Amino acid sequence: MNKIEANKQAWGLLSEDHYNHFKKKFIENSYDLNPIVKKELGDITGKKVLHLQCNTGADTIMLAKMGATVTGVDLVPDNVHFAKQLANDLGVENVDFIESDIMELMENHEGKYDVVFTSDGAIGWLPDLNKWGKTVKYFLKDDGFFYVHDSHPFLLSFDEEKIKKGVLDLIYPYFDNEADVSTTIGGYASDPKEAKNYFWMFTLSKLINALSQADLFIEYLIEHDRCAPGMGGTSTDENGLRYFPEFEGKLPLVFSLKATPR
């Protein structure tokens, strides 16, 4: 089985649990977009948004609630099925969802968007950032913009369990070109499941060069030492952001980048 197919099957094991998790949060009125993303993204009222790697649609729905018309894309058929179901349950109409590997989206979908958006655990699932950059550009209107917010790749180099105890153990090489194979998936919106899956380490330079070579101009790159819940950290600050007290001001946790067509 190829690596994308393995990832499709692995993520598919989580679809129904994610749907139930996010539906409960919406019903309790306790789901919101990542606060850093919300602030940086600004007003998207009336915009046409393409949301890459939308999972079961929770953030797609939040973007729609902010006044945009949003198309979510995900690799996994059950994610698309449950995303449609979630939008239907919540009576959100200005969204639609399509199933596609991002690596094949230019062949599978047509359309131009004001905003191409991706966030929170997306980039490392893609084997070819140059193709990703071209895909972002392909779907952007000339006056549109691309926004990405994700885990900082330097943080991803360290053992995720030891870092919670204040120990930095660099076990995932920052410059690795091979996919890292893991035998469990999920855990942030469901119990983790056993399934082989593949994650591609990326560097900030690879990401920036991929966008630049696709004729996108980098408007900004921000590195944050605090992040939204679910993205890292062991303590919570007065604004609800998470951080590692031992590494405050020393280690980037997440980054944000905005780019526009040249």
Ligand X SMILES: C[S@@+](CC[C@H](N)C(=O)[O-])C[C@H]1O[C@@H](n2cnc3c(N)ncnc32)[C@H](O)[C@@H]1O
Q: Indicate the DSSP class of residue 22.
A: H
**At its nearest, how many Å lie between ligand X and the CB of residue 38?**
13
Q: Is 82 in the site for ligand X (CB under 6 A)?
A: no
What sign has the CA pseudo-torsion 53, 182, 127, 208?
Answer: positive
Give the nearest distance from C-beta 197 to ligand X in angstroms.
9
| Nearer to ligand X (CB atom), residue 107 or residue 142 | 107
> By beta-carbon distance, which residue lies closest to ligand X?
121
Q: How far apart are CA 228 and CA 36, in angstroms?
A: 7
Closer CB to ligand X, 122 or 136, in the complex: 122
**240: number of Cβ within 10 Å:** 11
Under rule CB under 6 A, residue 76 binds ligand X = yes
Q: Are 176 and 204 in contact (CB under 8 A)?
A: no
Q: Which of 36, 102, 207, 257 binds ligand X (CB under 6 A)?
A: 102
Q: Should residue 6 be labelled a site residue for ligand X when binding is judged by CB under 6 A? A: no
Per CB under 6 A, the list member of 36, 70, 83, 122 interacting with ligand X is: 122
Q: Is 145 in the site for ligand X (CB under 6 A)?
A: no
Contact residue for ligand X among 13, 55, 95, 201 (CB under 6 A): 55
| 254 forms part of the interface with ligand X (CB under 6 A) | no
For residue 236, the minimal CB distance to ligand X (Å) is: 20
Question: What is the rounded distance in angstroms from the CA atom of residue 240 to the CA atom of residue 242?
Answer: 7
Work out whether 208 is an interface residue with ligand X (CB under 6 A): no
Are the C-beta atoms of 214 and 134 separated by less than 8 Å?
Answer: yes
Contact between 7 and 125 under an 8 Å Cβ cutoff? The reply is yes
230 sits in the region (left: phi over 0; alpha: psi -120 to 50; else beta) called left
Q: Which of 138, 129, 120 has the alpha carbon at shortest distance from 50?
A: 138
Query: At which residue do the structure tokens 């942030």 appear?
Result: 188
Task: Provide the token pair at 67.
Answer: 């006044």
One residue of 50, 61, 126, 136 binding ligand X per CB under 6 A: 126
Which token pair is 76?
A: 């996994």
> Could you tell me which stretch among 87-95, 115-123, 158-166, 231-239 binds ligand X (CB under 6 A)?
115-123
Minimum distance from residue 102 beta carbon to ligand X (Å): 4
Binding site for ligand X (CB under 6 A): 4, 7, 11, 53-55, 58-59, 74-76, 79, 101-103, 119-122, 125-126
